[in-house]
Structure 1
Amino acid sequence: MSEISDSRYVQLTTQLRSVEGFCDFLTGGGIVRIAENDGAAFIEVTASMLARQRHEADVIRKRRRQLFPDSPDEELQPLYNSH
């Protein structure tokens, strides 16, 4: 991969990990509440947020597969070296 390709792959993978991490948080009991405007009552939107985030993860995963068909779906090495 070129340096630009490497960077794009890392970007997509990082974004995917972030979305998947938020999905894990929600499935583990996390709750999302929003208020439509200042002073309004909060309403729970966890289920719809989880559905939206799972869809986003699928879209990112598909985009990464299209752009990098030779790269594995699961990374065997860390994205960043700690050295």
Structure 2
Amino acid sequence: MATIEFITREDLESFKQELFAELRRPSFRPPKQEQQKEWLKSYEVRKLLGISANTLKSLRDNGTLPSTKVGGLIYYAYEDIRKLMEPKK
């Protein structure tokens, strides 16, 4: 049978004090915001746009989305993807 544990005000106060002490510690660094990469691989573009591999190939083939091939990998500039997602005026 499961045991039930209660959290008291004193428990919460103690936790708060420990948390603030940890945050004030000089070596504590909050995680940095991940910067957007300049070039994305095909799988990243498909995930970002929510499209299939065939749709991405069509966008590449008809010139809607420029790409660069390096070795066997195809890369897309984030700026081009951003422009593609902007509403047309």
- Normalised to the residue count of structure 1, the TM-score between the two structures is 0.26
Larger radius of gyration: 2
Relative to its length, the structure with more helix (as a share) is 1
Higher relative contact order (CA 8 A, sep 6+): 1
Relative to its length, the structure with more strand (as a share) is 2
